[in-house]
Amino acid sequence: MTATNYAVAPGEYLEEWIDDQDLSQQRVAELLGTSRKQVNEIVNGRAPITSDTAMRLERVVGIPARTWLKYEALYRADLARIADEEGLAEHVDEIAPSAIAYLRSIGATGATKRTPGKLVSDFLAFHRCGTWAAYDHLHREASTGDYALAALKDSSATLDRTLLTTWLRAAELAEPFERGRHYDYDPARLKEALPKLRARAAAPDSAMLRDTVNMLADVGVVFMVVEPPKKLQLLGMTRWIDKRVPVIQQTGRWGKDGFVIWTLFHELGHVLNDPRGEMHVEYSTQKKRNSAAEKGANAFAMKILFGEDGIKPFEGLTRDREIADAAARIGIAPGVAVHQMHRRRLLDYRFGNGLCVDLAGTFTA
């Protein structure tokens, strides 16, 4: 049943019957054994139809008592819903327009800002929150401390929480996330798998992401790429299912192998080295939050991918052939080297792009 923006009092049905029978409210009051004031208040929706009144109406009007009570329940529910939506409407501007468009695109709402209360209600329902205060509390809880999200507020990048939480919730509704609930994560086996993961990432192609998903699943790690809302300037996030199973979730933004591979190993650093149950995000911006968690994840990715010498073998290189040869010598994809050279200002952004592999067409939920 489609919700309306108005409520129909059961007294309106009684009023129609009174008019059809050409009776007065006084006469109906006499038939019901009540006062005219009581009938008038029922007709105008000010007085509820009780079980006793419903039985009297059944005998006088002929409509079953259970029907009158159903009308009354629907009326009260509609009044409560309308009042609730009027209150929720105050929060509509806190939801990013891109989050609204994203929810509409996946069928989570059909509302727009023309029906703000319904829109906020659908947003909360998608997040499984009963009130805006509950949503605010839950996602503020995940935003404090060195290993969580609040520290990111000091970053130069803007991370709108409604975009982020909507993207995270969309992942939870996807099949890979649900399948991951049954994984048995083994950190020792993940460490053993790192050389194989690194070797597979050294040859990015249309099957690389699928192979990576399977390799990580074998050690109990969920790896998934979930299309993000527009304007969510994020590469990836690490989080946990019940503090048991790590989930590495990427947006696929910028789609090149350097972004995807670096983010993967960066997040693996969070999985292996940081407290379970915490969330970690990876920005594409140059200025990153100055935290032990981020420094540790970056150091991990650099060591696993580049080895002990780090980026040094690429210093001073500008030609594609030179970069590709250096990448081959240490066993990484040239695009990963270009990505790090760009970030560290060792290579102008105009150069090296021909070495990058576009993985955008290989992403799967």
The DSSP annotation for 93-123 comes to GGS-HHHHHHHHHTTS----TTSHHHHHHHH
Same domain as 189, residue 130:
no
Over 50: is that where the pLDDT of 153 sits?
no
pLDDT digits (tens, 9 = 90+) for 64-85: 999 999 999 999 999 998 898 8
Query: Is 6 a domain residue?
Result: no
Query: Is 304 a domain residue?
Result: yes
Same domain as 334, residue 234:
yes
Same domain as 40, residue 104:
no
Query: Is 149 a domain residue?
Result: no
Same domain as 256, residue 167:
yes
Hey, what are 57's tokens? 């109406």
Q: Domain with 78 in it: what CATH number?
A: 1.10.260.40
Same domain as 228, residue 333:
yes
Single out the residue of 191, 328, 186 nearest to residue 265, CA to CA.
Answer: 191
What's the rounded Cα separation, in Å, for the pair 265 and 276?
17
Query: Is 152 a domain residue?
Result: no
Same domain as 284, residue 136:
no
pLDDT digits (tens, 9 = 90+) for 37-57: 999 999 999 999 999 999 999
Same domain as 286, residue 178:
yes
Same domain as 130, residue 45:
no
Sheet holding 222-225, edge to edge: 222-225, 245-250, 236-241, 280-282
- Orientation of helix 292-306 relative to helix 334-343, angle to 10°: 140
- Structural domain containing residue 121: 95-141
Same domain as 272, residue 224:
yes
Same domain as 207, residue 119:
no
Same domain as 220, residue 179:
yes
Whole-number mean pLDDT of the chain?
A: 89
Query: Is 153 a domain residue?
Result: no
pLDDT of residue 155: 41
Contact status, residue 103 vs residue 122, Cβ threshold 8 Å: yes
Same domain as 120, residue 78:
no
Number of domains in the chain: 3
Query: Is 176 a domain residue?
Result: yes
CB atoms within 10 A of CB 207: 11
Query: Is 1 a domain residue?
Result: no
Mean pLDDT (whole number) for 74-99 = 93
Check: pTM over 0.75? Answer yes or no. yes
Query: Is 5 a domain residue?
Result: no
